[in-house]
């Protein structure tokens, strides 16, 4: 029922219409499902493309060959007709010259017409060379058939013959030009007509027409067209089979790559590799590249697992210390200066560890490095002064820097590299040990060497020195506050600058770290 509120000044009137408000709303339309058509496989795309290209090429070749061959046949017929017409004209000219015919008026007299009919007898002028299947007609200047011959029918034809006459030859003859036309009959088939005028003292006197049958040529062209059409169809069908086989063989390595990737996805096994025993073609290089990429990914995941394991192990000790000291102070209810100092020390160590990890992450990103000329000689002198202050009276520092050596790189990162090596040497050698910092030119580039006279490093530990969180003496490193990331940072910075780092150490005879960087 409709309800109207009483109108009051300053208050809006509310109107409720149940008929509209309570009307059932239409249900929302169901979402339309998009049906994705199955994608056509690449092998079938290649097969179809290959077959279409072959079909187009063969069709174009067949059409061109049929066109050229049919034109060649008609040119041969035209040339043969022209030669035969010339023979008839030459024979007629000789007969006229023998009879010494004289034409006086513009039209032939009955005597002259009778003379032309007698002289133009085909039996008299060309009876010895007429070939079977070729018809010859002789017209006078008025277009009347003087004589004709059709060896293919074996009978003489007159003007009333069923062979049609194209009187356009008279117009061409009056112009002094040959005339070509194709005549089609219902009972004798198609004939190619070639006519040539005969002049006597610059006056049209007769016209010679050669009629060559086209039935044999048309039958040959029809057989040729049928053969080309069937050959094109057969070659296209064979191209489908050959294209499918070639595509299958060419894409077989890609199928192997797909199966390998699927096994890696299903089993999470990065040790799977793509078979790369084929020829070193494009697909072979692709398989080799994918295997190299999988090696790198597997190594990256292994390093990540070891890294997370080491980080969790390294953080467990300071976090345990902080939690234990906090719980102890909470139970006793008083502030313990020693506990606060331990908490502060562990927090500082974790801060250094996080800083070193960030340094490693930035060093791994080559784009994060600055690329500017760095004067290594000046940098070594600056680092020598800083290291002398860090070493104090406990170590003797010797600096030898060859002048004029520069590289392209990040000055801050290179500085961090040398400081880490100097700090490592001063931390792990006894007081009074001499530490030498040297810079010199070598055939490979600029060589930075940090050497000491300490106890050296055991041979079994040297291959793992640059691994993250690796310690030769874990207790001593942890007591001294080290994070086990200094040498890993050195190696990462050297690689980011296209350099390399090596260690030479003998137990009891000291250690030397050598960094080689390419010169500008």
Give me the DSSP letters along 48-61.
HHHHHHHHHHHHHH
| Burial call 217-254: b when 16+ CB within 10 Å, e when fewer | beeebeebbeebeeebeebbeebeeebbeebeeebebe
Total count of domains within the chain: 3
β-strands 396-401, 434-442 pairing:
parallel
Q: Please check whether residues 340 and 293 belong to one and the same domain.
A: yes
Residue 448 placed within a domain: yes
- Token duo for residue 268: 């999470």
Task: Please report the pLDDT score of residue 106 as a whole number.
Answer: 47
Which residue matches tokens 């801060």?
A: 351
Task: Please report the pLDDT score of residue 75 as a whole number.
Answer: 92
Residue 355 placed within a domain: yes
For 400, phi then psi, to 5°, come to -130, 110
Q: Please check whether residues 192 and 128 belong to one and the same domain.
A: yes
Q: Please check whether residues 70 and 215 belong to one and the same domain.
A: yes
In sequence order, what E strands does 329-419 have? Answer: 372-375, 396-401, 406-409
Radius of gyration in angstroms for the set of CA atoms belonging to the chain, rounded to a whole number: 53
Question: Distance between CA 357 and CA 483 in Å, rounded?
Answer: 10
User: In CATH, what number is assigned to the domain containing residue 468?
Assistant: 3.30.565.10
Give me the DSSP letters along 60-97.
HHHHHHHHHHHHHHHHHHHHHHHHHHHHHHHHHHHHHH
Q: Look at residues 368, 383, 401 and tell me which one is the last residue of a structural domain.
A: 368
Residues 484 and 470 sit within 8 Å (Cβ to Cβ) = yes
N-term to C-term CA, the chain: 93
In 3D space, the residue among 432, 433, 422 whose CA is nearest the CA of residue 490 turns out to be: 422
Residues 103 and 112 sit within 8 Å (Cβ to Cβ) = yes
Residue 270 placed within a domain: no
For residue 26, count CB atoms less than 10 angstroms from its CB and return exposed for 0-12, middle for 13-18, buried for 19 or more. Answer: exposed
Q: Please check whether residues 399 and 331 belong to one and the same domain.
A: no
Residues 348 and 356 sit within 8 Å (Cβ to Cβ) = no
Q: Which residues are paired to 501 by β-bridges?
A: 515
Q: Please check whether residues 64 and 204 belong to one and the same domain.
A: yes
Task: Please report the pLDDT score of residue 14 as a whole number.
Answer: 41
Contacts of residue 33, Cβ cutoff 8 Å, sequence gap at least 6: none
Residue 31 placed within a domain: no
User: In CATH, what number is assigned to the domain containing residue 342?
Assistant: 1.10.287.130
Residue 133 placed within a domain: yes
Range of the domain at 397: 370-517
Residues 406 and 478 sit within 8 Å (Cβ to Cβ) = no
Question: Distance between CA 204 and CA 448 in Å, rounded?
Answer: 111
Q: Look at residues 316, 334, 368 and tell me which one is the last residue of a structural domain.
A: 368
Q: Please check whether residues 74 and 187 belong to one and the same domain.
A: yes
Question: Distance between CA 407 and CA 243 in Å, rounded?
Answer: 56
Instruction: Return averaged pLDDT per consecutive 10 residues of the chain, 520 residues in all.
Output: 40 42 50 50 83 92 93 91 86 69 51 58 56 75 74 42 73 88 78 87 82 87 93 91 84 82 82 76 80 83 73 73 81 80 80 73 61 89 77 77 89 87 85 87 92 85 78 51 73 88 85 90
Q: Please check whether residues 287 and 389 belong to one and the same domain.
A: no
Q: Please check whether residues 63 and 99 belong to one and the same domain.
A: yes
Task: Please report the pLDDT score of residue 482 as a whole number.
Answer: 58
Residue 226 placed within a domain: no
Q: Look at residues 310, 342, 368 and tell me which one is the last residue of a structural domain.
A: 368
Which helix (H) or strand (E) covers residue 20, if one does? helix 18-21
In 3D space, the residue among 181, 194, 193, 220 whose CA is nearest the CA of residue 73 turns out to be: 220
Task: Please report the pLDDT score of residue 390 as a whole number.
Answer: 64
Q: Please check whether residues 461 and 376 belong to one and the same domain.
A: yes
Question: Distance between CA 351 and CA 349 in Å, rounded?
Answer: 5
Q: Please check whether residues 339 and 416 belong to one and the same domain.
A: no
β-strands 445-452, 434-442 pairing:
antiparallel
- Token duo for residue 441: 């030119």
For residue 269, count CB atoms less than 10 angstroms from its CB and return exposed for 0-12, middle for 13-18, buried for 19 or more. Answer: exposed
Task: Please report the pLDDT score of residue 4 as a whole number.
Answer: 39
Task: Please report the pLDDT score of residue 514 as a whole number.
Answer: 93
- Work out the angle between the directed axes of helices 215-267 and 282-332 (0-180°, nearest 10): 20
Residues in the chain: 520
Residues 512 and 503 sit within 8 Å (Cβ to Cβ) = yes
Residue 180 placed within a domain: yes
Q: Please check whether residues 483 and 342 belong to one and the same domain.
A: no
User: In CATH, what number is assigned to the domain containing residue 98?
Assistant: 3.30.450.20
Task: Please report the pLDDT score of residue 121 as a whole number.
Answer: 60
Residue 45 placed within a domain: no
Q: Please check whether residues 90 and 156 belong to one and the same domain.
A: yes
| Burial call 401-426: b when 16+ CB within 10 Å, e when fewer | beeebebbbbbebbbbbbbbbbbbbb
């Amino acid at each position: 029922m409709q309800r109207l509120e009483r109108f009051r000044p300053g208050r809006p009137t509310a109107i409720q219409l149940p008929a509209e408000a309570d009307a059932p709303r239409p249900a929302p339309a169901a979402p339309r499902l998009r049906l994705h058509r199955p994608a056509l496989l690449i092998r079938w795309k290649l097969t179809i493309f290959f077959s279409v290209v072959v079909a187009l090429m063969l069709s174009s070749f067949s059409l061109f060959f049929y066109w050229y061959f049919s034109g060649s046949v008609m040119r041969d017929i035209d040339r043969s007709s022209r030669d035969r017409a010339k023979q008839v004209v030459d024979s007629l000219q000789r007969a006229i010259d023998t009879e010494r015919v004289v034409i006086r008026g513009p039209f032939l007299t009955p005597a002259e017409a009778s003379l032309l009919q007698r002289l133009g007898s085909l039996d008299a002028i060309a009876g010895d060379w007429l070939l079977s299947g070729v018809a010859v007609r002789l017209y006078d200047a008025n277009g009347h058939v003087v004589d004709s011959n059709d060896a293919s029918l074996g009978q003489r034809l007159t003007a009333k013959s069923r062979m049609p006459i194209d009187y356009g030859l008279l117009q061409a003859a009056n112009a002094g030009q040959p005339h070509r036309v194709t005549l089609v009959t219902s009972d004798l088939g198609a004939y190619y007509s070639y006519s040539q005028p005969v002049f006597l003292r610059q006056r049209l006197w007769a016209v010679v027409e050669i009629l060559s049958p086209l039935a044999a040529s048309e039958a040959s062209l029809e057989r040729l067209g049928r053969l080309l059409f069937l050959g094109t169809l057969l070659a296209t069908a064979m191209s489908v089979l050959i294209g499918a086989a070639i595509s299958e063989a060419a894409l077989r390595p890609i199928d192997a790559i797909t199966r390998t990737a699927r096994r890696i996805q299903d089993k999470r096994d990065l040790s799977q590799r793509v078979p790369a025993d084929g020829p070193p073609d494009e697909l072979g290089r692709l398989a080799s590249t994918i295997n190299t990429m999988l090696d790198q990914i597997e190594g990256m995941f292994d390093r990540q697992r070891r890294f997370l394991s080491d980080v969790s192990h390294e953080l467990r000790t300071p976090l345990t210390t902080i939690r234990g000291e906090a719980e102890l102070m909470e139970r006793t209810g008083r502030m313990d200066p020693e506990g606060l100092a331990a908490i502060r020390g562990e927090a500082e160590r974790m801060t250094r560890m996080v800083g070193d990890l960030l340094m490693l992450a930035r060093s791994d990103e080559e784009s994060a490095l600055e690329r500017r000329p760095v004067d290594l000689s000046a940098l070594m002198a600056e680092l020598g002064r800083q290291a002398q202050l860090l070493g104090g009276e406990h170590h003797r520092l010797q600096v030898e820097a060859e002048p004029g050596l520069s590289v392209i790189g990040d000055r801050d990162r290179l500085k961090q590299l040398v400081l880490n090596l100097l700090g490592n040497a001063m931390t792990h050698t006894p007081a009074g040990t001499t530490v030498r910092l040297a810079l010199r030119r070598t055939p490979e580039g600029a060589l930075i060497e940090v050497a000491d006279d300490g106890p050296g490093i055991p041979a079994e530990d040297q291959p793992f020195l640059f691994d993250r969180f690796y310690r030769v003496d874990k207790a001593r490193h942890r007591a001294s506050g080290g994070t086990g990331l200094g040498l890993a940072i050195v190696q990462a910075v050297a690689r980011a600058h296209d350099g390399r780092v090596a260690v030479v150490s003998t137990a009891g005879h000291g250690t030397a770290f050598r960094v080689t960087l390419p010169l500008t």
